[in-house]
Structure 1
Amino acid sequence: MFPALFRSVRFQSQTAMMPTQVLACDATAISFQSSSAEPRISSQDTLNSLQLAVHDLRRRQPVVFPTETVYGLGALALDASAASSIFSVKGRPPDNPLIVHVSSIEMLHTLLPSTFQLPKSYDLLIKRFWPGPLTLLFPSDSQIIPSIITANQPSVAIRMPSHPVARALIALVKAPLAAPSANSSGKPSPTTAEHVRRDLDGKLGIILDAGACEVGLESTVVDGLREDGKIRVLRPGGVTVEDIEQTLREGFLDTQVLVHRRDYRDEKLEAAPTTPGMKYRHYSPTAPVTLLYTSSPPAGVVPLSAQSFFLTLKDEINTFSSVKIGVLALTDSPFGKMSLPAINGLEWHRQELGPVNHPSVTARRLFDALLTLDQQGVDMILIEEVVEIREGLAVMNRVRKAASQSRWITI
C-alpha cells in the first residue's frame, strides 16, 4: 500500500534531456470483468496517473509501467517512430526484437494475419496462462507490425500481461504496446520503480509506480509454429516448463516440449533471434559476476574448496585497497549456511536468494539483489547455482548470461 495513492516526484540529472515523473498507481483499484477488456478504476488518483501516461504514449513518447514480471519500457507497437524511442532510451541493438503487449484477445486478433488459425497448443496455453507471464510467437503481418518490432523476422512475440496497471494502460491507450525491460541494454531488469529511476532518470517522462513486481523475471517465450508441432521454449521465465507440459497433457495433446540450449541448439536462431534475450549478453550488473557451482563437477574438473577459493579473490582484482565481495546465496544450502571467513582486505556483502526448495522466491529476488549489490559498490559478485527445476531453470538462464566466469567449489 502507498502512503498516498498519487505522488509526482521530479528528478533531473546533470545530463538529463527531460524531467522524469514517478507517478503512483494503486493496482488494487483496477479490475476487469471477464467479459470486457475495459478496466474499472476506483481511484481517481490512479486514473490520473494512467491518463498522463496515455497522453505521453499518444505523443509517441516512451513510458515505464509495471508488469507482473519486471518493469517495462513501453511505446506504441504499431508506430515505428514511437517504437524507435525504446531503442534510443535503452541503447538497444536494432536486431534485438521486442515483445508486443495486448490487453485482450480481441486486440491480439487485430495483429494477426487473417489466414492464421490458432494451433490447439496455443489455444490451451492462452486459456491457462493469459493474462500472465507467457509470450507466444505468432506469424507477423508486415502490413500491420513494423519491422523495427520484429527485427525483420517473420514472427512476432506477443503476450497479455496480468498486472492490472499494465493491462489498464494498454486498454486506455487502445493500442498494443511494445515493451522490453525498462533498463539500459545489458543490465539487470528492474523490479521496482526505483531501479528504473536510478538507471533511466532524465531519459523519459513518466514512470508508473505500483510497487515491486510479483514474478521478478521476464516472461517465458514459446514458439509453437514449427511444422513438427513441438513446443520450443526459447526463454524460460515466469511460466515454468513443468506447467506448460502439464497444461498440454490435461488438454490431451501429446506434444513434446523442448528448451533451447537444454534440449537443442539452433545456431541460425541465435544469430538472428525471434525474441529478446537470446543473442546478447544480458542481466549484467556493473561488477563482474562469478557463478559458483557446488554440485558434482563434470569429468576432468577438480573443484577448489570454498576456503581456498575465497583466498584467491583479492588476487583477481588488481587493487591495494579493501575489496568488496557481493554474495548471493540460498538461505538453507550448505553454501548459504556457511560462515564467510574473515580475510584481510575482503569486505563481504551478502544477499539471500531464498530457500532451496522455493525457486519462485529466488526468481523474485535475483534482479533486486544484483542491483542492490551494484548500489553498494561491490567489486565482484558471487552467485550460488540453483537447481534447474521450475523457476530455477529461468534463474540459471539469467545467471549464466550475467556471469563472466564460473568456478566449481566444494563446501
Structure 2
Amino acid sequence: MATAGAQTTQVLQCDPLSITFSKDINTNEISSPSTLSSLVAASLRLKNDLEPIAFPTETVYGLGALALSNPAVLRIFATKGRPADNPLIVHVSSLSMLRRILPPDYIVPQTYTTLINAFWPGPLTLLFPSSSLIPPAVTAGHETVAVRMPSHPVARALIALCDEPLAAPSANSSGKPSPTRAEHVARDLGGKISIILDGGPADVGLESTVVDGLAPDGHLRVLRPGGVTVEDIQKLFPAGAKDNGTDTDADADAMEIDFADDAMEAAPTTPGMKYRHYAPSVPVVLLVPLPTASDSNSTPSLNSLPSASSQRIAILSHTLGSLSTPHITAQRLFDGLLTLDDSGADLILVESVEESREGLAIMNRVRKAAGETRWIDLDR
C-alpha cells in the first residue's frame, strides 16, 4: 500500500491464471475469490466514482478510465500530466464491444479482419472512424479513434466486468518510462490513484503496434512499432494479395512506416508520436556503432564518451537479452531504465540494437528517451 498526499493507493493482487475466457471472448470465469474481489472493487471505482485505476496488460501497465465518459477521461490527463493533444487508446474486451462504439454504417475492411483474426486479443492497435459516443478528449479532436483488445486476462476481465471500453495510456507520469510492474506504478503514481491491480510483470514490455488501414487505397501504415512486429504483419499480406476481392492492393510492399514523420508528429493521431517519451529523470545517451563503409555512404562524426570521473554512469546493454532474442530485450527495456534511474546514476548509456522485428520498437522508444546519440568506434 502506497500513500502520498491525501489519497491512499491500494495494490490489489490478481491471479491471471485464475481467469478463463469462453470462445466468444466476452465472458469469463474467475476461480479465485480474491481476484474476483479485486476486479469488482476496481470496476466499481471506475463506474461509480469515474476514477482512473491502474491495471496490467500484456504490453505495459495501463491507467484506465471509462472511455465513453468525458469527465473520467479528463481525470487520466490530470493524473498523468498528459498534454491534451495526445490521444488515447480505447481498450475493448470483445468484437461486440468494438462494434458498439463504431459508426453504425461502418464496414470493417478485409485487411482489418485479417489483422484482428491474427493478432486480437494482443498488442495490436487499429485506427477506426470515431463515432459520436467517443469523447473528443479521447481522440484529441481527430476523426479517428485507436482501439485494441488486450490479451492479458486481468485487463480483459476488468473491461468485461465493466461492460464498457476503457481508455488507457501507460500508467506513469507523462514522458517517463512506461511501467511493466505494479511496483513501477506505485513508485510513480502512488497517492494519485486509489487502486493498482497487480497481475504480475508485463509479458511484452513495450506498447502496442499501431496500424492505420483507413486510406482509400487500402494500404497499411504502421504509425508506431510495438509488440506485433512489421515482419509479422507483412507475412499476412503476400505480394499480389487483394483487399476483399477488389483491385485494392494489400501487399507487403504497400506497407508504410510513418512513426518518424514530422507532419504526423505535429498533429498525432495516436500516442507516442509527438512528445519526448519514455525518459527517466536522469539523461539518457544512445550509443550507436560507427558504420563501416559498406553500411553507409556517409560517415557520421565520432563522439567521445563522457568522462566517468565526474559522473556515476550506468550502462543498459545486451545483457538485457541476447542479440538473437530482441523480444527479451523489449520485455526488459523499461524495467531496466526504471531500475537504473532508481539506482542513483547520473547518466544512462543505452546500447543500440538492430532495427528489425522487436528491435524496431526498441530503438523507437530509446530514441525518444535519449537526449542525444553518440557514435562509437568499436574497432578502437
TM beyond 0.5: yes
Matched, 1:326 2:320: no
Looking at structure 2, the residues matched to 91 and 99 of structure 1 have their Cα atoms a distance apart, in angstroms, of 17
Match of 2:332 in 1: 365
> Secondary structure of the equivalent of 1:395?
helix
Match of 1:259 in 2: 257
Q: CA deviation at 1:271?
A: 1.3
Contact 1:124 / 1:251 at 8 angstroms: preserved in 2?
no
Contact 1:23 / 1:207 at 8 angstroms: preserved in 2?
yes
> Secondary structure of the equivalent of 2:196?
strand
Query: Following superposition of structure 1 onto structure 2, how do residues 371-410 of structure 1 map, counting pairs within 5 Å?
Result: 371-410=338-377
Contact 2:93 / 2:165 at 8 angstroms: preserved in 1?
yes
Number of aligned positions between the proteins: 364
> Secondary structure of the equivalent of 1:389?
coil
Contact 1:103 / 1:176 at 8 angstroms: preserved in 2?
yes
> Secondary structure of the equivalent of 1:386?
coil
Match of 2:302 in 1: 303
Give the one of 76, 79, 90 matched to 2:80: 90
For 2:255, give the aligned amino acid.
V
Match of 1:162 in 2: 151
For 2:92, give the aligned amino acid.
V
Contact 1:325 / 1:381 at 8 angstroms: preserved in 2?
yes
Looking at structure 2, the residues matched to 222 and 136 of structure 1 have their Cα atoms a distance apart, in angstroms, of 5
Give the one of 109, 115, 129 matched to 1:139: 129
Contact 2:89 / 2:270 at 8 angstroms: preserved in 1?
yes
Looking at structure 2, the residues matched to 375 and 126 of structure 1 have their Cα atoms a distance apart, in angstroms, of 39
Match of 2:218 in 1: 229
> Secondary structure of the equivalent of 1:326?
strand
Q: CA deviation at 1:324?
A: 1.1
Contact 1:63 / 1:204 at 8 angstroms: preserved in 2?
yes
Contact 2:222 / 2:259 at 8 angstroms: preserved in 1?
no
Match of 1:272 in 2: 267
Matched, 1:130 2:128: no
Contact 1:291 / 1:403 at 8 angstroms: preserved in 2?
yes
What percentage of aligned pairs have identical amino acids?
57
Looking at structure 1, the residues matched to 301 and 168 of structure 2 have their Cα atoms a distance apart, in angstroms, of 44
Matched, 1:197 2:186: yes
Looking at structure 1, the residues matched to 58 and 276 of structure 2 have their Cα atoms a distance apart, in angstroms, of 23
Matched, 1:285 2:290: no
> Secondary structure of the equivalent of 2:78?
helix
Looking at structure 2, the residues matched to 123 and 168 of structure 1 have their Cα atoms a distance apart, in angstroms, of 23
Q: Deviations over 1:337-356 (max 9, x none)?
A: xxxxxxxxxxxxxxx22111
Looking at structure 2, the residues matched to 36 and 133 of structure 1 have their Cα atoms a distance apart, in angstroms, of 16
Looking at structure 2, the residues matched to 167 and 374 of structure 1 have their Cα atoms a distance apart, in angstroms, of 31
Match of 2:247 in 1: none
Q: Deviations over 1:216-256 (max 9, x none)?
A: 00000000001121100000000000000101239944432
Match of 2:166 in 1: 177
> Secondary structure of the equivalent of 1:70?
coil
Contact 2:93 / 2:157 at 8 angstroms: preserved in 1?
yes
Looking at structure 2, the residues matched to 257 and 57 of structure 1 have their Cα atoms a distance apart, in angstroms, of 38
Give the one of 5, 11, 17 matched to 2:2: 11
Matched, 1:242 2:231: yes
Q: CA deviation at 1:17?
A: 2.5
Looking at structure 2, the residues matched to 400 and 76 of structure 1 have their Cα atoms a distance apart, in angstroms, of 32
Match of 1:5 in 2: none
TM-score w.r.t. the length of structure 2 is 0.93
CA 1:110/1:391 → structure 2, altered by over 3 Å: closer, same or farther? same
Looking at structure 2, the residues matched to 11 and 280 of structure 1 have their Cα atoms a distance apart, in angstroms, of 29
Unmatched runs of 5 consecutive residues or more in structure 2: 243-249
For 2:302, give the aligned amino acid.
P
Contact 1:134 / 1:220 at 8 angstroms: preserved in 2?
yes
Mean Cα deviation higher: 29-38 or 130-139: 29-38
Matched, 1:42 2:31: yes
Q: Deviations over 1:292-348 (max 9, x none)?
A: 0015065242435xxxx34x4248xxxxxx521110111xxxxxxxxxxxxxxxxxx
For 1:301, give the aligned amino acid.
P
CA 1:382/1:60 → structure 2, altered by over 3 Å: closer, same or farther? same
Match of 1:4 in 2: none
For 1:223, give the aligned amino acid.
D
Looking at structure 1, the residues matched to 262 and 339 of structure 2 have their Cα atoms a distance apart, in angstroms, of 35
Looking at structure 2, the residues matched to 21 and 393 of structure 1 have their Cα atoms a distance apart, in angstroms, of 36
Looking at structure 2, the residues matched to 158 and 178 of structure 1 have their Cα atoms a distance apart, in angstroms, of 9
Q: Deviations over 1:264-291 (max 9, x none)?
A: x351x22111100001000000111111
User: RMSD across aligned C-alpha pairs, in angstroms?
Assistant: 1.5
Contact 2:154 / 2:199 at 8 angstroms: preserved in 1?
yes
Q: Deviations over 1:101-123 (max 9, x none)?
A: 00000000001011111111101
Looking at structure 2, the residues matched to 250 and 89 of structure 1 have their Cα atoms a distance apart, in angstroms, of 46
Contact 2:224 / 2:259 at 8 angstroms: preserved in 1?
no
Match of 1:7 in 2: none
Q: CA deviation at 1:11?
A: 1.9
Mean Cα deviation higher: 34-43 or 74-83: 34-43
Contact 1:57 / 1:75 at 8 angstroms: preserved in 2?
yes
